[in-house]
Amino acid sequence: MKINFKVLGGGTEIGANSYLISFNDVNVVLDAGLHPRARGVSSFPDYDSIKNLNIEHLIISHAHTDHLGALPYFLKFFPSAKIYSTKPTLSFAEVMLSNTTKILKQEFELEFDKSTISNYKEETLDIIPMIMKRYDYNEKVFLNEKISFEFFDAGHILGSASVLINAGGKKIFYTGDINLRNQSLIPKADLPGHKIDILITESTNCATEDYPDYKNEMTRLASFINRVINKGGSVLIPSFALGKAQELLMRVHTLMRKNEIPHVPVYYSPMSKAINDIYDDYNYTVNRIKRGFKLSEIEINILKRMDYYKGDFYKHPSIIIATSGMMMPRTASYILARQFLPRANFGIAVCGYCDPETPGYLIKNSKPYETLYFNMYDQGVEAKCEIGNFRFSSHSRKEELEGMIEHLNPETIIIVHGDEIAINSLGSHTVKKYPDKRIIAPDKGKVYKLS
Ligand SMILES: [Zn+2]
Ligand SMILES: [Zn+2]
């Protein structure tokens, strides 16, 4: 069987992740992501270059925007393709895509050709849950008599999946976003128990050799929160709405339950709350660290717009978990950060990656009392509050991916979903250890013959 691979987006970057893999004349697209920071048409995968192919299948690994956000755009090109995901991913699709639509509309309203986003409309969003086919982990799905696939739990967020494709006896494993460590809600990934032929792996965290472990970060976070609260201030924790917010809420709850931090009010974004409810719907049916535990058991206050300037947390020490993670302009975490920065007794705990072009990056790397300017018209705001940096990534560490490669022992390894440093770092280690294996850091748009 002839197998070809082509990156449509998100090869040597974390962006509009989408890959074409062809088995003779059967074309399967893996993921349809939207670049979270690119603008206009360049934030979408390059479906124009494959529009004359017969694309019959799209497999979505999980519901993060960089894997799902371009689905309406994909449907513009391939309206009759079959779409496959796990059940929780389907449940998240509605919340995530309607949020993406809101953001795209604001952006395209101002400067871009609106026909690009013509499919981001209610009619399409309503149809998507009806046309998506949903499956359990390890349920066999046949694309034809020779090609089948199954989802494996990827341990990244609720419903996240790796994909094992069996094409005429050849086994291809696409990791999606994968975490080989237990988080606070979601247990670590489940891998196939046998050798595979072709591995397509993410490499998000591979730029850092000694990535801190969760336990260490929990201790640091607890002392940060204690320091700020003892000064009478509140702590802002900027967070992505899906996955990260739930894990961080659980971590804060665990610290309170163990009396490692005081029992102060917790504020939480409405969108993250909507996602909590979906987590709770699957508290028995999908594998969890604490089976049956519901996030609704944790007492939270929903963060309202009027709280941004006048919330009780300006008077009483509190913890605010607010979107977005990178403090993008106009979001709750950005507006709150601007209010927190000049208050010396307050704190901002940055708990994840921030792209260099975001306000989050500026805040994370600021020096005490530095004046920060977030755009060219900005009058500036002084960074007097305490700023902490923590790493609670939901991706595997480099050494864990190396362990996975050893376990799966593939002949061909394709490294994607990382910046160039990360891809080179995992690639050069693998080349040294396995000189006989074929290792590919694929260029966008180039077709790689895999067999
Ligand atoms: Zn993800
Ligand atoms: Zn991703």
What pLDDT was estimated at residue 266?
Answer: 98
Same structural domain, 166 and 229: no
Q: How far apart are CA 272 and CA 329, in angstroms?
A: 18
Q: Is the pLDDT of residue 432 over 80?
A: yes
Same structural domain, 122 and 240: no
Q: What is the CATH number of the domain that holds 249?
A: 3.40.50.10890
Same structural domain, 225 and 294: yes
The residue range of the domain holding 325 is: 214-389
In this structure, which residues have their CB less than 5 angstroms from ion ligand 1? 64, 177
Q: Is the pLDDT of residue 447 over 80?
A: yes
Q: Is the pLDDT of residue 430 over 90?
A: yes
Mean pLDDT of 247-251: 98
Same structural domain, 252 and 192: no
Q: What is the CATH number of the domain that holds 110?
A: 3.60.15.10
Domain stop point among 389, 416, 434: 389
Mean pLDDT in the chain? 95
What pLDDT was estimated at residue 254?
Answer: 98
Which residues contact residue 291 at a Cβ distance below 8 angstroms, ignoring those fewer than 6 apart? 283, 284
What pLDDT was estimated at residue 377?
Answer: 93
Distance 371 CA to ligand 1 centre (A): 33
Convert the pLDDT of each residue in 336-354 to its tens digit: 999 999 999 999 999 988 8
Same structural domain, 311 and 171: no
Is the pTM higher than 0.85? The answer reads: yes
Same structural domain, 371 and 253: yes
Same structural domain, 127 and 250: no
In Å, what is the CA distance from 101 to each residue of 107, 122, 273? 10, 9, 19
Convert the pLDDT of each residue in 75-122 to its tens digit: 999 999 999 999 999 999 999 999 999 988 888 877 777 888 999 999
Helix axes 87-110, 270-281, angle to 10 degrees: 160
Distance 53 CA to ligand 2 centre (A): 26
Question: Closest by alpha carbon to 352, among 224, 235, 201, 217?
Answer: 217
Q: Is the pLDDT of residue 255 over 90?
A: yes
Same structural domain, 381 and 401: no
What pLDDT was estimated at residue 103?
Answer: 87
Q: Is the pLDDT of residue 41 over 90?
A: no
Same structural domain, 369 and 416: no
Distance 206 CA to ligand 2 centre (A): 14
Q: Is the pLDDT of residue 165 over 90?
A: yes
Cα dihedral sign for 263, 269, 282, 403?
negative
Same structural domain, 356 and 382: yes
Distance 333 CA to ligand 1 centre (A): 20
Same structural domain, 110 and 196: yes
Domain stop point among 389, 414, 430: 389
Distance 216 CA to ligand 2 centre (A): 24
Same structural domain, 302 and 323: yes
Mean pLDDT of 175-187: 97
